[in-house]
Structure 1
Amino acid sequence: MNPAIETFRTGGAPDTHVDACGRRHPQAGGDARIVSLVPSLTELICDLGLGAQLVGRTGFCIHPRETLRTVPKVGGTKDVKVDVLRALEPSHLIVNVDENRRETVEELAAFVPNVIVTHPCAPADNLGLYRLFGGVFGREREAEALCAALQSALDEAAALRAQLAGEAVLYLIWRQPWMTVSRETYISAMLDTVGWRTLPEGTGPRYPAFDWALAARAERVFLSSEPYHFNASHLSEVESLGGRPAALIDGEMVSWYGSRAVAGLRYLLGLRRELAGLAAA
């Protein structure tokens, strides 16, 4: 078995060529052929200036639209068309612990030489992710620029978090059944960075269904734009059910890691200030 998929584990490593599985990847040449099965990492690959080497992506990989318009699709994040992917002859495959099925990755690893496993669990984990891709694909300068931008946003978030009292929030991702996110998710970690603590507390399913009595412990309810597309028409219904102020929130900005984490934190900083009645920084 390819050591890249023997064990999925979290945690970073000081070596910028080591992925979340603990495998060290050699530096790729300019002829690397990359397939990404992770929408947010497809965006990161392009933002690092590697769009010309991207030879395959999922149907959910939609950003940046113009760059991806001519890149072949290989199915979805979980229903990968193996024969289509094989025909692209990739040298590198980008996967994620949470978004891709292990059995699919094992099947693909039989013919893809380099399987890069990722598992960012919090915004700061993107620093290691930038350096991993930058180190493997020779984009160290671009990776460090992203690191500087992210660190600046993290520092600003820490300052705002110290300024404002924390708030418990209920973050909706689905309707009928009503579902939210656990504190073990990247979404929850993003919100916590600006002082919004998601409910429920403790461990449990990553995306649990809930009873509306839970809203009594929240100070506000967020309706995400994905995976369920909540819109303004749902606000009054949610406020009636939960008895708490409700607001729409951009799900991509909260759930997409990679280079989107920079814009995502800036977005959350602006929303936190707006809802707290603070002037923009």
Structure 2
Amino acid sequence: MAVFHDQLNRVVSLPAVPKRIISIVPSQTELLFYLGLDTEVIGITKFCIHPEDKFKTKAKVGGTKQLNIEQIRTLKPDLIIANKEENERSQVEELMSICPVWISDIHGLDSALDMIRAVGSLVNRETEAITLCDDIITRFTHLTLPAINQKVAYFIWRKPYMLAGTGTFIDSMLQQCGLKNAIDKDRYPELTSQEVVTINPDVIFLSSEPYPFKQKHIDEFKLMLPKAKVMLVDGEMFSWYGSRLLYAPGYFSSIVKALTLN
């Protein structure tokens, strides 16, 4: 019996290397496929859209916060990989009656790298996970961006407006870009239009997920804050903490370049 600890410091015991894995976190699903677990992953959520060919062929077990528990039970997994923030606690606790559940808790780059290494160990892909982490570290180390000294408001939802605050992975990625979060509230606060105006950010990022902000919303924010720079940004680059981190530094460079040119 192999004994592991997840990022909540829970003991997770596995009698053997897992052969039937369900991932209920999109970025961790992508990571599992990156590590070569094409056969072992038997179930994913409807939001686990990468890689596209695997999304088309794998069983869908509902959404990250609206899981089909009975379907998961029917699939007979021997490991479920979850996340403290992205999944509902009550549902995750129910899944624990089916099989071992390993839960991640991500706040920044270091905890994301710890997760990758730990998952690699869980699924017998230690070498691949370490190589991936080394590559990610190298790319972030080479990310040398100027401190722009601008306050950014990162919007994740509309009606009501919800923004990424402190203590979030998104906040840590904004810091990697040399930007300061205009929101000093914890987690994902809701703000009124007047509160947004009062904060008066220099930059507004409209994320592609979970709310699908589009070009038309740029006009809405420019009316609200005519002096602010308003940009659509790829939410996956700011909030996916698996193998997609390989591409984040290059994307952040392009974002900062666009800000300094405007």
TM-score of the superposed pair, with normalisation by structure 1: 0.85
Indicate which of 185, 200, 205 corresponds to 1:222.
205
Q: How many residues align?
A: 257
Which structure carries more strand by proportion?
Answer: 2
Aligned to 1:87: 74
Structure 1 residue 35 and structure 2 residue 22: aligned?
A: yes
Change (3 A) 1:152 1:17: farther
Is the deviation greater in 260-269 or in 74-83?
260-269
Change (3 A) 1:255 1:205: closer
Aligned to 2:37: 50
**What is the CA-CA distance between 1:266 and the residue it aligns to?**
2.3
Aligned to 1:137: 123
**What is the CA-CA distance between 1:50 and the residue it aligns to?**
0.8
Change (3 A) 1:28 1:208: farther
**What is the CA-CA distance between 1:213 and the residue it aligns to?**
1.9
Structure 1 residue 103 and structure 2 residue 90: aligned?
A: yes
Aligned to 2:148: 165
**What is the CA-CA distance between 1:27 and the residue it aligns to?**
6.6
Structure 2 counterpart SS, 1:56: strand
Tell me, yes or no, if the aligned pair for 1:29 and 1:137 is still in contact at 8 Å.
no
| Percent identity for Structure 1 against Structure 2 | 33
Structure 1 residue 275 and structure 2 residue 259: aligned?
A: yes
Structure 1 counterpart SS, 2:163: coil
Letter in 2 for 1:153: R
Structure 1 residue 236 and structure 2 residue 219: aligned?
A: yes
Indicate which of 131, 155, 158 corresponds to 1:175.
158
Tell me, yes or no, if the aligned pair for 2:169 and 2:239 is still in contact at 8 Å.
yes
Tell me, yes or no, if the aligned pair for 2:18 and 2:123 is still in contact at 8 Å.
no
**What is the CA-CA distance between 1:53 and the residue it aligns to?**
0.2
Separation of aligned partners in 1, 2:95 and 2:255: 41
**What is the CA-CA distance between 1:169 and the residue it aligns to?**
0.5
Aligned to 2:7: 20
Separation of aligned partners in 2, 1:235 and 1:53: 42
Tell me, yes or no, if the aligned pair for 1:184 and 1:206 is still in contact at 8 Å.
no
Structure 1 residue 260 and structure 2 residue 244: aligned?
A: yes
**What is the CA-CA distance between 1:17 and the residue it aligns to?**
4.1
Tell me, yes or no, if the aligned pair for 2:116 and 2:129 is still in contact at 8 Å.
yes
List per-residue Cα deviations over 1:22-61 (Å, max 9, x = no partner): 1344577555210011111111111111121001111111
Gaps of 5+ in 2: none
Tell me, yes or no, if the aligned pair for 1:215 and 1:242 is still in contact at 8 Å.
no
Gaps of 5+ in 1: 1-15
Separation of aligned partners in 2, 1:136 and 1:230: 37
Structure 1 residue 249 and structure 2 residue 233: aligned?
A: yes
Change (3 A) 1:121 1:229: same
Separation of aligned partners in 2, 1:190 and 1:270: 14
Aligned to 2:46: 59
Tell me, yes or no, if the aligned pair for 1:226 and 1:251 is still in contact at 8 Å.
yes
Structure 1 counterpart SS, 2:95: helix
Separation of aligned partners in 1, 2:13 and 2:96: 16
**What is the CA-CA distance between 1:178 and the residue it aligns to?**
2.4
Structure 1 counterpart SS, 2:60: coil
Letter in 1 for 2:33: C
Separation of aligned partners in 2, 1:204 and 1:121: 12
Letter in 1 for 2:97: A
**What is the CA-CA distance between 1:179 and the residue it aligns to?**
2.4
Aligned to 1:190: 173
Structure 2 counterpart SS, 1:69: helix
Cα RMSD, aligned residues only: 2.1
**What is the CA-CA distance between 1:117 and the residue it aligns to?**
0.8
Change (3 A) 1:103 1:26: closer
**What is the CA-CA distance between 1:115 and the residue it aligns to?**
0.9
Separation of aligned partners in 1, 2:198 and 2:38: 44
Change (3 A) 1:178 1:103: closer
Tell me, yes or no, if the aligned pair for 1:58 and 1:74 is still in contact at 8 Å.
yes
Letter in 1 for 2:171: S
**What is the CA-CA distance between 1:95 and the residue it aligns to?**
0.7
Separation of aligned partners in 1, 2:141 and 2:4: 26
